[in-house]
Structure 1
Amino acid sequence: MTHLIFADDLVVFIRGDLPSVKAVATCLDKFDLMSGLQANPSKTSLYFGGVSPDIKELILATTGFSAGEFPFRYLGLPLFTARITKDMYQPLLDKIKAKIMHWANSSLSYAGKTLLVNSVIFGLNNFWGASVLLPKGIAKKITKMCKDFVWGIDEGHRRHIFMKWQLLCAPKLEGGMGIKEVLSWNCAQTTKWVWKLLFKPQCLWSRWVQTYVLKGRDLWSATATISQSWYWNNVVRMKDLLLDFTGSADQALLLLESCSPQDKYSITMYYNALRTSQDTVPWASLVHGKGCLPKHSFIGVLLMHHTLPTTDQLVARGMVMVNRCSLCECQTEDLHHIFFSCGYSSRVLTGIANWLAISVGSTELQEVVQAFLSLKLSRKQQAGFMAMVYYIWKERNDRIFKGICTTPEMLCFKIRSHVKLRLFGS
């Protein structure tokens, strides 16, 4: 390899002597004559390794470029030659923190926050992790930043956490919101280097490792030692994790092969293979229907897991003193009451069920859900049920925190209007 090039960023590797530097400079001059493009001295630096001070000064004087120092950034990633420290990952943490601080000023729903975590923040983590290994401590910090952002936790100010983060990271079919778990994803990314050694022995990196690290030994017998680099020790640990997970080298090879469609390692497939799968939940198709908004689905997930902060839960935690339903103002509030048996909610449920042409003869959560699941629901029916759940919960919060009340008939009108706009655009 002689160079790395991407867009207008170019890294050229040269032997550290004057004749080699002059040869590359001549090539750059010829490139200038043919294309009209030349290196900008103010944006070009030379980085030295193992070069004597005299030769270094001579090269700088000849080229007119300045001397740079490691680490430097290339395509947003730090390049360094010394042993890796956690401080080298601070730019990643700073970038994630800046994103979160910017979003904190916006009025985002929980679903909106999970979408940002799973796209933007995970994208940053994935970009770094694809090129450099992330220490476990850094992965834990990223996870904590994501958790605090989703639940709205500031330093010194703790808010109600609705459900465990591991459950929120579960696939939608298993009752979660499909957020990628940083630590497990980092393991899957690191295992790619194990796969390269086993399935791509002729690539440059694999040949280098076989020659200078393994020195003819078998990968399965390699152990992590203090004398080896942190990078290599992490690769060995992922190999050990793979062996523990599968039980033998033969089974490990079969697993890696199954995660390599068309001879390409799939991080997603290995991530899914590593994680502990839970039973699929029957209500996933209802909560995450094609016509449902993410913010409706998020409230639906909390409802199905019985983790919405109803007043009975807040009283049990000592956060409020009186348990009274804010919708009917005459009975105590719990999950079943506020959505189905409350006089206000019953009128909304009846109105929406009639509009969706669905017969609901119960006020129990499981029986109502089962009534919907027993039918082959259309997009309108799926979207209508989840919109009803969302708007009832929103009405409850509006009454408590804003003092705004809406009649059941008007709430039904809002739900119908929302579903029509969502599905038909009018």
Structure 2
Amino acid sequence: MEVLTRIFKGLKKAPRFSFHPKCVKSDLTHLIFGLMTCLFLFEGTYLPVKAVKHCLNLFSSYSGLVPNPSKTNIYFAGVRTDVKSLILGDTGYVEDTFPFKYLGIPLHSSRLTRDLLQPLFAKITSKLGHWTSLQLSYAGKVNLLNSVILGIEAYWCASLLLPKGVVKALETECRKFLWGSPLTNSVCISLVGTKFVGLTRRWNGYKGSAHWNKALFITEMFWKLCYKNTSIWMQWSTRYIFKLQSFWDLDAVSCVSPLWAQILRIRDEFVLKMGSPGAARHCFHTWMVLNKFPLHEAYECFHGVHPEPIWMRPLLDPIVIPKHAFTATLAVQQGLATVDNICKRGMVLVNRCTLCYSATENTPHLFFVCPFSNGLMQEVLVWQGVTKRVLSLKHELYKLALCRGKLWKKKLAYCALAATIHHIWQERNIRIFNGARRTPAQILARIKYEVCVRFYAWNRGVDTDQLLSLLIG
């Protein structure tokens, strides 16, 4: 490609060749990425095209590489019909119109629409539709949304600011996948607010597409502004966008580039979030000194830093198994599909606790007023060497969050409480949907096993003998 670049530099000496008006100051004639080459011509006559064709023929004689006419397109603007016919007939190339894809991103002279982003939307909905047939827990769905779906969005979000309608549609599909089925048109009822699900990054909650898009976009563009000032894009922007102004003083009204209009709009929102232009510049300078742009800080800037409730601390600990933490969080928020919650949504059922058959079923009763769950939780406390009466769910979490003692014992209590909540809910569902039942001893053995396996993987401050004594005890 270096040989092709040197050949194209000779185009400046070709007869009647002229640069594109926005490429004169930077002497820009072409862009090359991999096997893709973009040429920029201004004068819509046959002579400049003939000069370009001569350069391509010269390169072909050197390398043996020949442009494929069926994969080479020409884009015209303000060219007469007879000149078009002459150029197309001589080159054998195909005329095409905007938009076209460059590095997988659609390029268009106007604002983005949902039709242009249909490939992104179709790829994401296809993934979600495939996963619907799998037996996945809520925590597993959240991990898939963060690792795969947001990974697909990341490439697009780093280069484009997606329209609000597209972002809303993507979040709707993700919400349907999390709480229901994206293939059905039925109303999807969230057990808890999706914003609460993504309350903290430490819990690996679902991150909303809108804030994720802004964080990626501003991080990518700011990085290019600071460390890619030798790139062709920055050289072009300095000559035609910045001129004699700085990035912070540039007026968005006078900017004719749609991309730069988006960048400056995000800049203004970033300044508003930081409180003042001085604070925004200081944060920008700090990132420059650190020689990196932390994505999580940019995300928290747009999403906001929400204080974590005290009762959530035990559930946010990495030692807790993710699906246990998710079930416990739904329970404390009264978001589980208990009979009373189902009745509130219009379904008429006989409200009776499946575990004790002596009271109505709701979240406070299941955790831990029900004799079955209360007795199981008491046995879990005895297994940990704790002698106290069992409190309500939120009070148990408060006590754990504020307790002091050895680190490994606190971690054991966190993991055991979440596992107990999860298995109580699992036992309730087994009795309803499978018609089977387990004894408290069987459930306790399962809780011990899962907690000890988790501790073995954690293996910090606990030796093998202690794990064996916990498992046997």
TM-score by length of 2: 0.76
Residue 357 (1) aligns with residue 389 (2): no
How far residue 206 of structure 1 moved from its aligned partner, in angstroms, is: 3.8
Match of 1:60 in 2: 91
Match of 2:36 in 1: 10
Equivalences for 1:43-122 in 2 at 5 Å? 44-49=71-76, 52-54=83-85, 56-57=87-88, 60-61=91-92, 70-81=98-109, 84-122=112-150
Equivalences for 1:15-414 in 2 at 5 Å? 17-32=49-64, 38=65, 41=68, 44-49=71-76, 52-54=83-85, 56-57=87-88, 60-61=91-92, 70-81=98-109, 84-154=112-182, 155-172=184-201, 177-192=204-219, 193=221, 203-217=231-245, 219-220=247-248, 222-225=250-253, 228-260=256-288, 262-373=290-401, 374=403, 375=405, 376-378=407-409, 379-414=411-446
Q: How far apart, in 1, do the equivalents of 2:452 and 2:246 lie? A: 63
How far residue 392 of structure 1 moved from its aligned partner, in angstroms, is: 0.6
How big is each residue's C-alpha offset from its partner over 1:183-242, in whole Å with a ceiling of 9 and x where there is no partner? 112222333436755786665434433433455455545554498343333223222212
How big is each residue's C-alpha offset from its partner over 1:19-56, in whole Å with a ceiling of 9 and x where there is no partner? 33332343345334xxxxx5683874243445742563
Residues 241 and 170 from structure 1, CA distance in 2 versus in 1: closer, same or farther, beyond 3 angstroms? same
Q: How far apart, in 2, do the equivalents of 1:261 and 1:269 lie? A: 15
Point out the more displaced range, 305-314 or 83-92: 305-314
How far residue 279 of structure 1 moved from its aligned partner, in angstroms, is: 1.5
Q: How far apart, in 2, do the equivalents of 1:60 and 1:314 lie? A: 68
Residues 302 and 220 from structure 1, CA distance in 2 versus in 1: closer, same or farther, beyond 3 angstroms? same
Corresponding residue pairs, total: 414
Point out the more displaced range, 376-385 or 176-185: 376-385
Residues 194 and 342 from structure 1, CA distance in 2 versus in 1: closer, same or farther, beyond 3 angstroms? same
How far residue 164 of structure 1 moved from its aligned partner, in angstroms, is: 1.1
How far residue 248 of structure 1 moved from its aligned partner, in angstroms, is: 3.0
Point out the more displaced range, 102-111 or 363-372: 363-372
Q: Would you say the 8 A contact 2:273–2:301 is kept in 1?
A: no
How far residue 66 of structure 1 moved from its aligned partner, in angstroms, is: 5.3
Residues 67 and 54 from structure 1, CA distance in 2 versus in 1: closer, same or farther, beyond 3 angstroms? closer
Q: How far apart, in 2, do the equivalents of 1:69 and 1:368 lie? A: 64
How far residue 277 of structure 1 moved from its aligned partner, in angstroms, is: 1.4
How big is each residue's C-alpha offset from its partner over 1:318-358, in whole Å with a ceiling of 9 and x where there is no partner? 43444321110101223232122211112221222223333
- Opposite residue 382 of structure 1, the aligned amino acid is Y
How far residue 138 of structure 1 moved from its aligned partner, in angstroms, is: 1.4
Q: How far apart, in 2, do the equivalents of 1:66 and 1:289 lie? A: 59
How big is each residue's C-alpha offset from its partner over 1:55-94, in whole Å with a ceiling of 9 and x where there is no partner? 6335524xxx655554344443334455533311111111
Q: Would you say the 8 A contact 1:259–1:269 is kept in 2?
A: no
Residues 248 and 359 from structure 1, CA distance in 2 versus in 1: closer, same or farther, beyond 3 angstroms? same
Q: Would you say the 8 A contact 2:141–2:178 is kept in 1?
A: yes
Q: How far apart, in 2, do the equivalents of 1:333 and 1:324 lie? A: 5
Q: How far apart, in 1, do the equivalents of 2:66 and 2:420 lie? A: 62
Identity of aligned residues (%): 27
Q: How far apart, in 1, do the equivalents of 2:102 and 2:263 lie? A: 24
RMSD: 3.2
- Opposite residue 127 of structure 1, the aligned amino acid is Y
SS for the counterpart of 2:116 is: helix
Match of 2:23 in 1: none
Q: Would you say the 8 A contact 1:380–1:419 is kept in 2?
A: yes
Q: Would you say the 8 A contact 2:88–2:95 is kept in 1?
A: no
Q: How far apart, in 1, do the equivalents of 2:331 and 2:188 lie? A: 19
Residues 264 and 25 from structure 1, CA distance in 2 versus in 1: closer, same or farther, beyond 3 angstroms? farther
Query: What stretches of structure 2 of length at least 5 have no aligned partner?
Result: 1-27, 42-47, 458-470
SS for the counterpart of 1:88 is: coil
Q: Would you say the 8 A contact 1:96–1:121 is kept in 2?
A: yes
TM-score by length of 1: 0.84
Q: How far apart, in 1, do the equivalents of 2:60 and 2:165 lie? A: 43
- Opposite residue 400 of structure 1, the aligned amino acid is I
The structure having more radius of gyration, on CA atoms, is 2
Q: Would you say the 8 A contact 1:97–1:145 is kept in 2?
A: yes
SS for the counterpart of 1:406 is: coil
Q: How far apart, in 2, do the equivalents of 1:25 and 1:359 lie? A: 88
Point out the more displaced range, 358-367 or 162-171: 358-367
